[in-house]
Amino acid sequence: MHAHFDAAPWHPANHVALSPLSFLKRAETVYAQRPATTCDGISRSWSEIGTRCRAVAAALSARGIGLGDTVSVLAPNGPELFELHYAVPLLGAVLNTVNTRLEAETIAYILDHADAVLVIVDPALLPLLDQAFAHLGRRLPVLGLDSYEALAAHPPMGWALPADEGQALALNYTSGTSGRPKGVIYHHRGAYLMAMGTVAGWSLPQHPTYLSVVPMFHCNGWNHPWAMAVVGGHMIFLREVTPATLLGAIARHGVSHFGAAPIVLQMLCEEAAAPFATPVKVLTAGAPPPPSVLEKAARLNMEVMQVYGLTETYGHISQCLWQEAWEALSPEGRADHQARQGLAFPMAEEIRVLDRSSGQDVPQDGLTQGEIAVRGNTVMKGYYKDPASTSEAFQDGWFWSGDAAVVHPDGYIQIRDRLKDVIISGGENISSVEVEAALYRHPAIQTAAVVARPHARWGESPCAFIELRDGMATSEAEIIAFCRDRIAHFKAPKTVIFGPLPKTATGKIQKYLLRQAARALGEQT
């Protein structure tokens, strides 16, 4: 006989809405006297931060901000933006962190599309916001960060969790490498689980010293502002961010953890004069890191773990977990394995590489390409006011990433390309990422990107666009020969173009512009 369990609904005693607000509520007491933030020589404890966030929320409420209102923030990383990650959601409002590197026209589009009711702005960015308002044709209510301390002095409100954990928490816009950026909706449940999954997946200890490098306009700083409250971390903020200031802060504050895009990692490796005194744990994401950069980082005492994700997945959802067997490999071999995107983070239910036409998993041969498909609680609610794009992204019970990947025999995923960036030459698929990794080993190359150029015989051929390091020189013939020594001849570039590469405001190379340039070169014979 089977037992018959009560199917009664949840009770308030055993069901509470999941929200990252809970983390700060706890940190305010548990880590009360421990440092939470430091910037410009000013440090604040978790008790102070909790009180300030509740005060700012009360002040915004007095201004009429409430449930479902979008509050846009145009500001660089700093303690104020960190606090707004709690203060705005405490009201049931939606935080929209705007990329500070965008041009005014795109900022205007975001403010309009997001239905922003208030813009909080750093005084240095007021001219940019004024330009955006000119494009918008109207002004929105504005609050300057120079008056932020008045908000923090307001009598604080109490803690309150959302009635529905599926309630919108943040609205993040994609980088817009092609077309208009899309508004990605995060909910409280996803942000809570993302933070907890990061603590487990990155093995975050109690009280890490975390250097804020990842812009908080990018996936809310990979959700790290919420994760740091879980473990009572100490967040270090810099008003001026350069390789030299980052290295100085790491040494001065004893930084133990940070996240950074591969290009930032590359700049730090080139600037650092000696290895760090103690290991620094680094998450890198945004593009597959060249193995050559990972080799340099290891020599500098950086323990780098590559992670993979998208704005639509709250940031990182897979991780390249270190395997002891890799110790026996050469430094180059270890770096090649570290350049893989790896396995699912604890909070990601499923990440698979599927043949889109059949819906079946690709074989684990490291060769057969499929598309990365994701399912879990840290997938966006959808695209704001864009049901067509949402429907296209959500099909057959999966979120489809648009990233082409293979699965190695050990189960580790490795991205080969964005699907639209795969080069098909003579019926063979060529990964632009693989060709770029070979190019990055050339000592004269600073930045490289590879796209398809029409070819009379093969259909397409690899075309490399290259930025050289200052004072360095090379030739097309030398670059092609260099690649042919390292990868299959048919994968080596057949065209090399030298010059500056177009990038988005987040530093991503705009390959769609390079594809246009390659097509404009005409058909290769």
Structure confidence by residue, pLDDT tens digits, 223-242 = 999 999 999 999 999 999 99
The matching CATH number, chosen from 2.40.110.10, 3.30.420.40, 3.40.50.300, 3.40.50.12780, for 15-241 is: 3.40.50.12780
Q: Are 84 and 120 in contact (CB under 8 A)?
A: yes
CATH entry 3.30.70.980 includes domain 422-520: no
Q: Report residue 289 CA to chain centroid gap.
A: 13
- Give the CATH architecture of domain 244-420: 3-Layer(aba) Sandwich (3.40)
Distance between CA 386 and CA 183 in Å, rounded?
Answer: 8
177 has a pLDDT exceeding 70 = no
Residue 324 has what DSSP assignment? G
Which positions ≥6 away from 130 have C-beta within 8 Å?
none
525 pLDDT tier (thresholds 50, 70, 90): confident
The 10s digit of each residue's pLDDT in 411-462 is 999 987 777 677 878 666 687 878 898 899 999 999 999 999 988 778 789 9
> What's the pLDDT score for residue 202?
97
Give the start-to-end residue ranges of the domains of the chain: 15-241, 244-420, 422-520
Q: Which of 317, 297, 19 is nearest to 159 (CA)?
A: 19
Distance between CA 14 and CA 119 in Å, rounded?
Answer: 38
Distance between CA 409 and CA 199 in Å, rounded?
Answer: 28
Q: Are 325 and 348 in contact (CB under 8 A)?
A: no
- Least confident range from 22-26, 215-219, 346-350, 507-511: namely 507-511
Tell me if domain 15-241 and domain 244-420 are identical in fold.
yes
Share of the chain above pLDDT 90, in %: 76
The 10s digit of each residue's pLDDT in 73-128 is 999 999 999 999 999 999 999 999 998 888 888 899 999 999 999 999 999 999 99
* Mean per-residue pLDDT over the chain, rounded: 92
Q: Are 424 and 413 in contact (CB under 8 A)?
A: no
> What's the pLDDT score for residue 2?
74
- Least confident range from 22-36, 198-212, 437-451: namely 437-451
143 pLDDT tier (thresholds 50, 70, 90): very high
The tokens of 23 are what?
A: 């983390």
Q: What pTM was computed for the model?
A: 0.85
> Cβ-count burial of 381 within 10 angstroms (0-12 exposed, 13-18 middle, 19+ buried)?
middle
In 276-359, which ranges are continuous DSSP H helix?
291-299, 331-338
The tokens of 141 are what?
A: 């209510």
Q: Is the dihedral of CA 471, 477, 481, 487 positive or negative?
A: positive
* Helix (H), strand (E), coil (C) string for 204-267: CCCCCEEECCCCCCCHHHHCHHHHHHHHCCEEEECCCCCHHHHHHHHHHHCCCEEEECHHHHHH
160 has a pLDDT exceeding 80 = yes
> What's the pLDDT score for residue 266?
85
Calculate the dihedral angle through the C-alpha atoms of 234, 239, 240, 245, rounding to the nearest 10 degrees: -30
The tokens of 55 are what?
A: 């005060």
The tokens of 277 are what?
A: 């005194």
> What's the pLDDT score for residue 429?
67
Distance between CA 460 and CA 521 in Å, rounded?
Answer: 13
Q: Are 80 and 106 in contact (CB under 8 A)?
A: no
Mean pLDDT of 342-364: 95
The tokens of 138 are what?
A: 């109207």
> What's the pLDDT score for residue 325?
93
Distance between CA 302 and CA 198 in Å, rounded?
Answer: 19
Q: Which run of H or E residues covers position 306? A: strand 302-310
The 10s digit of each residue's pLDDT in 469-508 is 999 999 999 999 999 988 878 889 999 999 999 987 667 7
> What's the pLDDT score for residue 217?
93
